[in-house]
Structure 1
Amino acid sequence: MSNSPETHQKRKAPTGKLYAIADIHVSFPSNRTAWSDLEPHPGDGLILCGDIGETIEHLQVAFSIATKCFDTVWWCPGNHELYSLPSGSSADVRGENKYQQCVEVARLYDVLTPEDDFVVWEGQGGPAVVAPIFTLYDYSFRPSDVTLQNAVPWAREHNIEATDEYLLHPDPHPSREEWCKILVEKFESKLEAAKSRFPSLPFIIANHWPLRKDLVNLKYIPRFTIWCGTVLTNDWHQRFNAKVVISGHLHIRRTDWKNGCRFEEVSLGYPRQWKACAEMNLGVNELLREILPGPETPQDGEAPTKWRIYG
């Protein structure tokens, strides 16, 4: 299969459904094979919610297949796209430069990114503003008695440490938390501007990291939460009239309702994490999450968490 963007049709305005998936990690051969089995969805749209892979080649593989199967594709970065590796086409490309390199690849495939204007979804379940964003994390998903300086040592006490500490560089910013602050301010302003432009429309906000700390439930690695978001976005679903908030990163598929807003964690995950699905002949086609039109809102806008092991 050629990954050249010249072989793909330009995106069209979808009239069907909007789907999302995250953390497809095509660096794993079995995940790449599964992604190559993605079926055509004429008339539909797809949001890729981060952690496609670590290299430009991984993005090319993912975008090549996605844009052949869906009329419009959106992408927002995860931590893995931002990794700086010692070799390959992105060798030693760090921080903002690595992100911009990813954005340039997306644009070659006509994939919409957080750097593009938000567009209005006019397909089923619309109209709604589709808003892919990029916020990173600032270690604020930590207990109140743990200081910022002690956050990473606190996690290390339980032998937990994100690879980000070695491969995700914040250049030219002095730290990841400072980069996060700048990104939050940037996308807060962009969402405010879009809200002013489309005051009557609901938003579909897509971000790799969860917007709320209370949606991070990591039973086996609880101290990994410090790499999972920022408290600065806790109320964004209300401030920006979100109908749905989409995230990945946790590799734990779930649906939550807060204040009438649906929160969807849409990860595929590493091969071992969706092995049970694969053994039931459930692949990426079955694990795509329908975002719009989606289910009806609960009567009081709240509902217990639905753990979606098989879809």
Structure 2
Amino acid sequence: MFSTSALLALNSEPADATTVSSSTRKMPPGKLYAIADIHLSFPGNVEAWSQLAPHPGDGLILCGDVGESLEHMRIACSKAASCFDMVWWVPGNHELYTVRAEGSDGSRGEPKYEKLVEVARQFGVLTPEDDFMVWEGQGGAAVIAPIFTLYDYSFKPDDVPISGALNWAKEENIEATDEYLLHPDPYPTRQAWCHALVQKFEAKLEAAKAQHPTLPFIIANHWPLRKDLVFIPRIPRFVIWCGTTLTEDWHRRFNAKVVISGHLHIRRTDWKSGCRFEEVSLGYPRQWKDCADMGLGVNELLREILPGPKAIPEGGEQPAEWRSFTMEHIY
């Protein structure tokens, strides 16, 4: 179990339970970092999160899967907000689970998401429901765009129809826990919720692009925007729960400088069409054990988003750069 000191450090009350308008926020002057999949249902990850160091003047993006319960959300936001001048959060699939044993109140689907947004705002953490903001710190001006898209099973092989995607995965004994714990209420299906979310955030990105036509975007979403960035060799058919093809070209359409995601639990950096794609997950304890064995913890595994690398690869393309993982720890 985790220590009493970790609990005391992480379960602090919000300094101000009122919603903080993004328009009144002062952008930090320092660096922008990101991390995903801290999975606070695991005691080892709670202990690691309790050791997050202060970053005065910096910003942080929590890119989904902080845990399953509202209490996990409070722990994640409380610590992040105490260490960074500004924090953003986007939901992953685990936050949306309805798991009473994890302290959930039984909310399902969109109502669960709305409660998570309320918790984030209690700690001054910005969400996909808040206005996009212009970063003015290191790395140059950019629009910070946290979004929420879910998935629709379209990351399937071309010869498999959408209607057969679930059965295709089950042929290899692969079925996501989402099928039992992630409810789409009030939408009839997760696909329908995904398509509504894609419409919503496509419109929000278009409006921000019209407002800031010369600025690059930093897009943060728990699920990868592109299928070709999904690499899960031990369970390849899990790919259908990893995103939607509807976002395939968003990095080009919205002038993205960096696209941040998690979900895969495999840290990597890719370059596509001059855009840097960062998978920034921590993962389950066994999946970052290789890092822990090297003395690397949460602080070392935070990914610097801005300013980031100074040079863009020739042609704006570069093969994946894998960051501290071993194949046996993947899923």
TM-score where L is the length of structure 1: 0.97
Mark the CA change 1:156 to 1:239 in structure 2 (over 3 Å): closer, same or farther.
same
Q: Work out whether residues 227 and 243 of structure 2, in 8 Å CA contact, stay in contact via their aligned partners in 1.
A: yes
Verify: 1:179 aligned to 2:193, yes or no: yes
Measure the CA separation in 2 of the matches of 1:50 and 1:154: 27
Note if 1:306 corresponds to 2:306. no
The one of 177, 188, 192 aligned to 2:202? 188
Q: Deviations over 1:211-246 (max 9, x none)?
A: 000000111100000000000000000000000000
Question: What SS class does the counterpart of residue 172 from structure 2 fall into?
Answer: coil
Q: Give how far 1:3 is off.
A: 2.0
Does 1:98 pair with 2:112?
yes
Letter in 1 for 2:324: I
**Equivalents in 2 of 1:126, 1:247: separation in Å?**
21
Matched residue type, 2:194: C
Which of 80, 99, 111 does residue 125 from structure 2 map onto? 111
Q: Which residue in 1 is equivalent to 2:3? A: none
Distance 1:86 1:26 in 2: 15
- Residue identity over aligned pairs, in percent, reads 71
State the AA in 1 paired with 2:188: P
Q: Who is 1:59 aligned against? A: 73
1:4 aligns with 2:13: yes
Runs of 4+ in 1 over 6 A off after TM superposition: none
Shift of 1:88: 5.8
Which one-letter code corresponds to 2:12 in the other structure?
N
Stretches of structure 1 that go unaligned for 5 or more consecutive residues are none
- CA–CA separation in structure 2 for the residues paired with 1:6 and 1:39: 19
Query: Within 2, Cα distance between the matches of 1:184 and 1:91?
Result: 27
Q: Give 2:46's match in structure 1, choosing from 32, 47, 50.
A: 32
Corresponding residue number in structure 2 for 1:132? 146
Corresponding residue SS for 1:150: helix
Classify the secondary structure of the residue corresponding to 1:146.
coil
2:43, 2:103 → 1: CA distance? 19
**What amino acid is aligned across from residue 111 of structure 2 in structure 1?**
N
Cα RMSD of the aligned pairs, angstroms, is: 1.3
Q: Give the aligned residue type for 2:15.
A: E
Q: Is the 2:16–2:123 Cα contact (8 Å) retained in structure 1?
A: no
| 1:25 maps to amino acid | H
Please tell me whether residue 239 in structure 1 is matched to residue 248 in structure 2. Answer: no
Which residue is 2:240 aligned to?
Answer: 226
Superposed, which structure 2 residues align to 1:155-166 within 5 Å? 155-166=169-180
Contact 2:52/2:83 (<8 A) preserved: yes
Listed as ranges, the matches of 1:84-95 within 5 Å are 84-87=98-101, 89-95=103-109
Distance 1:254 1:201 in 2: 25
Could you give the per-residue CA deviations for residues 182-232 of structure 1, whole angstroms, max 9, x where no partner exists?
A: 000000000000000000000000000000000001111000000000000
The residue identity in structure 2 corresponding to 1:117 is D
Q: Counterparts of 2:153 and 2:306 in 1: how far apart (Å)? A: 32
In 1: Cα distance, 2:316 partner to 2:140 partner: 19
Could you tell me which residue of structure 1 aligns to residue 328 of structure 2? none
Structure 2: runs of 5 or more not aligned: 1-7, 326-331
Tell me if the contact between 2:153 and 2:244 (Cα under 8 Å) persists in the aligned partners.
yes
Residue-pair matches, total? 309
